[in-house]
Chain A
Amino acid sequence: MQLDGIITRNTIDLQLFAETKEEALEKLADMLYKDSRLSDIECFLKDVYQRETTGTTDMGIGVAIPHGKSEAVLHTSVAIGRLTTPLRWDLKIAGQLQEKPVYAIFLLAVSIDNQSTTHLELISSIASLLINESFIVDLQNATSKEMLLDSIQKHLGELE
């Protein structure tokens, strides 16, 4: 399975500094915008927040996967941010105080116009990687974007 430009060096930040969920989302969306993957940051974030209102995207495993299908997405993409300091994504989940902070964010941006099955399959496979312990170790320890990209490729290959 090829990444097909969905994740590149330009969509990864291994030293994301953000004190709040809002700040993190804005910085990740900005990264996608600068790489010509979004036509409008505000419009995209509106769709992402719309999804957030239907339930938390904090997976309870230290990783949040906010996502939006949006007209503002030019190319289906995944922005990955590893936080310099973990943060609380939502204060409460299903009425319970959320204990485990989030150390990484996978922001999924899906185009409405061009919903190629290949891209949707890639997105779902990338989400599935997060329940793989060996990938999580690499996500936590990667010292370069290349290392993380290699690990994503490797683990996607194992899914096939």
Chain B
Amino acid sequence: MKIIAVTSCPIGLAHTYMAGAALKKAAKKKELELRVETQGTMGIRDRLTEKEIKEAQLLILATDITPLEPERFRNIPTFKVTTSRIIKNSDSVLQDAIESIQTEEE
């Protein structure tokens, strides 16, 4: 399964990058392919490519403020969550996100 994620927070200094790192860690544990784009004080970093967005089966949207360029992500099954929930428990967030699209498929 190919997963993409976008993280952001009000000041864009801490939560954005911690949540990004936590998601990567959780995905590695589950051996899943996951790419994170951070939208913080340094602007969009590790920007998701068109190809990555097109191929993604799931978008984890952890944007505590309005995401930048959201029109890129139309038509992708989306799981919304706060950055703080990811920081506290990235493993269960990732599991919930995956289950959310599996339920939809049934």
Contact = CB atoms under 8 A, between A and B. Distances in A.
Interface of A: 51, 54-57, 59-61, 65, 67, 69, 93, 108, 110, 115, 117, 120-121, 123-125, 127-128, 130-132
B21 interface: yes
Given A55-B10, A59-B18, A131 B42 contact: no
Given A108-B14, A123-B14, A124-B14, 6 more contacts: A51-B11, A54-B10, A56-B84, A69-B41, A127-B14, A127-B15
Interface residues of B, number: 21
A115 B18 CA distance: 20
B41 A131 contact: no
B30 to A, nearest CB: 16
B25 A124 contact: no
Q: Is the interface of B mostly helix, strand, loop or mixed?
A: helix
A56 B21 CA distance: 19
Contacts of A125: 17
Given A120-B41, A124-B40, A124-B42, A131 B21 contact: yes
Top 5 nearest A-B pairs by Cβ distance?
A: A124-B17, A128-B21, A60-B88, A127-B14, A65-B14
